[in-house]
Amino acid sequence: MKKAIVLIAFVVLGLAQAFAQQVPLYSHYYYNQFLYNPALAGSQPYGQVYLINRNQWFSIPGAPRTQAITLDGPLRSKKVGIGLGVYRDAAGQFNITGGSAAYRYTLDLGNSGNLSFGLALGAINNRIDLNDINVQDPLDPNIVSTYQGTTGFDANFGLNYEIADFNFGIAVPQIIGNELAYTAIRNTISGEDVRYGLARHFLVNAGYNWDLKGDDNWFIQPNAIVRVTPGAPVQYDVSAMLNYQEKYWLGGMWRSAYAVTAAAGMRLADQFVAGYAYDIAVHKDLSQYTRGAHEVMLGYQWGGSVMDDPELKKKFKEVDEKIGKNDSDIDSLSNEINKNRKDIDENKDNIDDNDDELEELKDKIKTFDQFVEDFKNGKIKPGSNNVYTFNNVYFETNKWDIRTDARTELDNLNEVLKTNPNLKIEVAGHADQRGSASYNKWLSNKRSNAVRDYLIKNGVSPSQLEVKGYGEDSSFPTLDENRRVEFKIISQ
């Protein structure tokens, strides 16, 4: 038994050098980037939870097995996000369990993009399971009574820069680089506790979302990540995913000196996500033994940030521009705030006034019935204030077909336009906030053109109609209402 303890001690001492890649290996980080970088916690406008299970080198007894769960989402302001992560990484007799809570803050750099900072704090437990060791005497008291485990503090720091469709990130897992002491295992030579060193890792990644020309439905998403760990060879992954409407993706990955990976995934019912990846070992000396690796990802996405409301964004942007114009000297502004707290109360009143103005703007979005009444009473005037929303002209998700229940109101509008040939309107299409901005822009154009074609088919002159797609919108409480078509009077 003493020889077994000595052997374990040498293995633990050598883990940081011989197996310096201590951070779990995942294939689905290209989709759930919060796995490695806390600067991406809550970076999407919705909450999300993911489960990942990975079996590596499944043909070898005691091969690495990894399970992880992550949960993240934005707070009321999209500048701030939070996340939680728990993982278990087991290889033979060695088991690592870690958990952390993450916080992200994003700086808006205007036309220069966004810069996010993230910090995750938590704990890590490293233990040795002696039950998996074959010994001559299983009742040996050294096995029965000794618990080989240790727990310590852990931290992860990250940065992420995003501009247009390009992003670049840096993460430093185990940034503290502390040591965990196995007080139940002693080096028989020196008599000291065996220690397990947490090596500081450096992960650098870059990705791009390339919209294929001529078709807004298809995207290619190349991505690369480089792993640098002191005392270990540099590792890198290069991948590319073909994405259709943010609903289906298929691609591959090259992992340096290790494997090629095939991956596929899909979104179900707009909220559920499922993905699968398979590593095919390419190392000539190991491929016949390792037989690759399986990785499965399941996810759920829900809700959206209140700050997605375009009218609310506009109001806050106006307030920010006023503050920026009036307060060019930050130091002077700080002194001024300290001298006069009354300004803070006035700013709070201004926010309340902005909320009232927002409600007034919403009241100006009138229904079709109101349009008919205004038209009869001669109250119709061209301009942006006279925006009318159909009561029933809504669309299914990712569709632009005119539904049967929408034809009654379109037929009524058709009669008004034919009776008044000088009346000219703009037909405006909208989409909900799910999907990319470019796809939603294309989809809203399809919807406004579908209404235009319907009216022309039923006798309306094309010169009376203009169409425009405004893309994504979340100003109404339900997704159905955001998938709508409105119209406003241009001239009469």
Domain boundaries, the chain: 2-308, 310-363, 365-491
Confidence at residue 296, expressed as pLDDT on a 0 to 100 scale: 97
Of the candidate ranges 110-119, 204-213, 249-258, 483-492, the one whose mean pLDDT is the lowest: 483-492
Lookup: tokens for 107: 């700086």
- Answer whether 72's CB lies under 8 Å from 299's CB: no
- Give the C-alpha separation, 398 to 393, whole Å: 15
pLDDT tens digits for range 336-384: 777 777 766 666 666 666 565 555 545 545 667 777 777 777 666 665 5
With cut-offs at 50, 70 and 90, classify the pLDDT of residue 11: very low
**Partners of 193 in beta bridges:** 186
- Give the C-alpha separation, 45 to 269, whole Å: 18
Q: Sheet with 484-491: list strands edge to edge.
A: 365-367, 387-394, 484-491, 424-431, 465-472
pLDDT tens digits for range 151-203: 889 999 999 999 988 999 999 999 987 777 665 555 555 556 566 678 889 99
Confidence at residue 99, expressed as pLDDT on a 0 to 100 scale: 94
Mean pLDDT of 247-272: 91
Confidence at residue 379, expressed as pLDDT on a 0 to 100 scale: 67
Residue 468 has pLDDT above 90, yes or no: no
CB-based burial label for 190 (10 Å; 0-12, 13-18, 19+): exposed
Mean pLDDT of 88-110: 90
Query: What interhelical angle do 437-457 and 407-419 show, nearest 10?
Result: 60
Lookup: tokens for 233: 């060879």
Residue 445 has pLDDT above 70, yes or no: yes
Residue 8 has pLDDT above 90, yes or no: no
With cut-offs at 50, 70 and 90, classify the pLDDT of residue 142: low
Confidence at residue 17, expressed as pLDDT on a 0 to 100 scale: 34
Q: What is the CATH number of domain 2-308?
A: 2.40.160.40
Residue 314 has pLDDT above 80, yes or no: no
Q: How many CB atoms lie within 10 A of CB 269?
A: 6
Q: Which residue has the higher pLDDT, 83 or 355?
A: 83
Confidence at residue 94, expressed as pLDDT on a 0 to 100 scale: 79
427 Cβ neighbours under 8 A, 6+ residues apart: 448, 451, 452, 465, 466, 467, 468, 485, 486, 487
Question: 14-52 burial, b if ≥16 CB within 10 A, otherwise e?
Answer: ebbeeebebbbbbbbbbbbbbbbbbbbbbbbbbbbbbeb
- 90-94, 251-255, 308-312, 456-460: range with highest mean pLDDT: 251-255
- Give the C-alpha separation, 473 to 259, whole Å: 43
Percent of the chain with pLDDT over 90: 29
The CATH number, out of the four listed (3.30.1490.190, 3.40.630.10, 3.30.1330.60, 3.20.20.80), of the domain defined by the range 365-491: 3.30.1330.60
Residue among 269, 221, 303 at smallest CA distance from 397: 269
Residue 88 has pLDDT above 90, yes or no: yes
Residue 276 has pLDDT above 90, yes or no: yes
Average pLDDT, the chain: 78
